[in-house]
């Protein structure tokens, strides 16, 4: 039953003290649910940013395709909608500025929410480190939590963005808006928006996760309720 120090060291070097992904997800999900109100506000900021990103991407694409149609009828519609085809092709500076601001706000929002989550969970993180959780496990926990917000928020944002795009397109260009949208290009913009949403959330959570993992368990246990 009793192992020698050498045997013990061999076991310790061989094994990895990592929580299975399922447990990490369970913990992250529970963490989001407990702070429901704040999670929803954070989620909303991601939804808005990604909705705007996917809307502007897909609608610009539509305008380009319509402009390339060489049809007089479509040109009339474009002019009626007050769209400057040349300017849209370059992408207006205001649009780019607004998209960048929306994405920045969402990243800062995520960073802020995660930092608060880390501060509130000092004791919990310290306990897990006492039980033997390695720094990597703690980092993963917070990254998964924010990736969940990022993933869910991006999906919802894409749905919202596309809906607005389709409704506005139908109002301005009627059936052409559907005819000229190709599945492939929509998926490209949608995919880009999804990846951007998740990546921005991971960037926002990076620093808070690092703060959490570097915390020494003794300090965590000293924090009184």
Partner 1 sequence: MTGTSAEIVVDVRDVHREFRIGGEIVRALQGITLQVGRAEFVSIMGPSGSGKTTLFNMIGGLDAPTRGSVTLLGHPLGTLPSHIVARLRCRKIGYIFQSYNLIPVLTALDNVALPSLLLGRPQAEARSRAGAQLDRVGLGDRHHHRPDELSGGQQQRVAIARAFVNEPAIILADEPTGNLDLKTGEEIIRMLSVMSKEDNVTIISTTHDHKMLSVSDRVVWVVGGRIDRLVNREDLKIQVGSIT
- Closest approach, Cβ 200 to partner 1, in A, equals 26
**Interacting residue with partner 1 among 43, 47, 133, 143 (CB under 8 A):** 133
List Cβ neighbours of 20 (8 Å cut-off, separation of 6 or more).
none
Q: Are 50 and 195 in contact (CB under 8 A)?
A: no
Full DSSP string of 77-141: HHHHTT--HHHHHH--HHHHHHHHHHHHHHHHHHHHHHHHHHHHTHHHHHHHHHTT--HHHHHHH
Positions 148 through 207 that interact with partner 1 (CB under 8 A): none
Residues 14-33 that bind partner 1 (CB under 8 A): 15-20, 22-23, 26-27, 30-31, 33
Does the protein bind partner 1 through residue 132 (CB under 8 A)?
yes
Q: Is 37 in the site for partner 1 (CB under 8 A)?
A: no
Least distance in angstroms from the C-beta of 124 to partner 1: 6
With DSSP H G I counted as helix, E B as strand and the rest as coil, what are the percentages for the chain, rounded to 5? 85, 0, 15
The site for partner 1 (CB under 8 A) is made up of 1-2, 4-5, 8-9, 11-13, 15-20, 22-23, 26-27, 30-31, 33-34, 123-124, 126-135, 137, 216-218, 221, 225
């Amino acid at each position: 039953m009793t192992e020698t120090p050498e045997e013990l060291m061999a076991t310790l070097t061989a094994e990895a003290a990592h929580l299975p992904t399922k447990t990490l997800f369970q913990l992250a999900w529970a963490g989001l649910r407990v702070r429901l109100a704040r999670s929803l506000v954070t989620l909303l900021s991601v939804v808005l940013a990604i909705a705007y990103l996917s809307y502007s991407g897909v609608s610009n694409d539509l305008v380009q395709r319509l402009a390339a149609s060489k049809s007089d009828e479509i040109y009339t519609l474009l002019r009626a909608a007050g769209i400057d085809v040349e300017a849209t092709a370059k992408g207006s500076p205001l649009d780019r500025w607004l998209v960048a601001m929306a994405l920045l706000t969402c990243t800062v929002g995520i960073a802020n929410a995660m930092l608060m989550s880390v501060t509130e969970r000092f004791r919990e993180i310290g306990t897990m480190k006492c039980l033997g959780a390695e720094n990597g496990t703690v980092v993963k926990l917070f990254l998964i939590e924010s990736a969940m917000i990022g993933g869910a928020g991006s999906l919802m944002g894409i749905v919202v963005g596309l809906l607005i795009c389709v409704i506005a397109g139908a109002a301005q260009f009627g059936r052409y808006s559907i005819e000229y949208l190709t599945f492939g290009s929509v998926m490209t913009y949608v995919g880009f928006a999804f990846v951007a949403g998740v990546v921005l959330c991971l960037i926002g959570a990076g620093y808070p996760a690092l703060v959490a993992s570097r915390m020494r368990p003794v300090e965590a246990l000293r924090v009184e309720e």
